[in-house]
Amino acid sequence: MAADAERQELRPNLRDEAAPDDGIVVVRGGPTSPEKILAHAQRTHDAFVLNGNPLWGISVFCALDDIGPASLDALLHRFASYRVVHLPRVGQLRKAGFDLLPTFKRPHFTVSLPSPDEVPRLLGALGSAEPNPYHGRRPGRR
């Protein structure tokens, strides 16, 4: 595990964009589990710091637009490898106490956890997994 000084500072990669609470769907590949969320949050923790402080977090994509690459349909298609997806609303995650950092390229966000102990609560906030309509629906497969 890297020391804080050996991790990349995330601050320069934050966009000036907040995900609105209302109606915006968050796409998170599933199925997930406490172990998997912890492993992914650990990877973020090992790679990045935010303002010099340790960061625990997992990647999500927000369906910010009705059409185009940041639409829900495009995101589900893009992540066709996931047979199921978790589709909470931004407001649900915030209400549960999780912040969404607008990291890297739109519409990527990082859901930050105050500590790894919060993994079970994040799992609950993600809600149940739903089938991804694009998984297994491919032209030309026989």
Partner 1 sequence: MVSVDITCDLMDEDESGYVWTFLREARDPSLIEPGAIVVAGDEDAPAVAEVVEIVDKPAGKVVHLRLLPGVIEDYQALVRRAITPA
Q: Which residues bind partner 1 (CB under 8 A)?
A: 2, 5-8, 13, 28-31, 36, 40, 43-44, 46-47, 58-61, 79-83, 104-105, 108, 135-136, 138, 140-142
**Reading across the β-sheet that carries 8-9, which strands appear in turn?**
8-9, 48-50, 53-54
Query: What is the smallest separation between the CB atom of 32 and partner 1, expressed in angstroms?
Result: 9
Q: Are strands 56-62 and 53-54 parallel, antiparallel or unpaired?
A: unpaired
Distance in Å, CB of 24 to partner 1, minimum: 16
- In the complex with partner 1, which residue's Cβ is closer, 85 or 118? 85
- Nearest residue (CB) to partner 1, 110 versus 118: 110
d(CA 34, CA 74): 27
CB of 43 to partner 1, least distance (A): 7
- 112 and 41 in contact (C-beta within 8 Å)? no
CB of 108: closest distance to partner 1 in angstroms?
5
Instruction: Find out whether 134 and 76 touch, Cβ atoms under 8 Å.
Output: yes
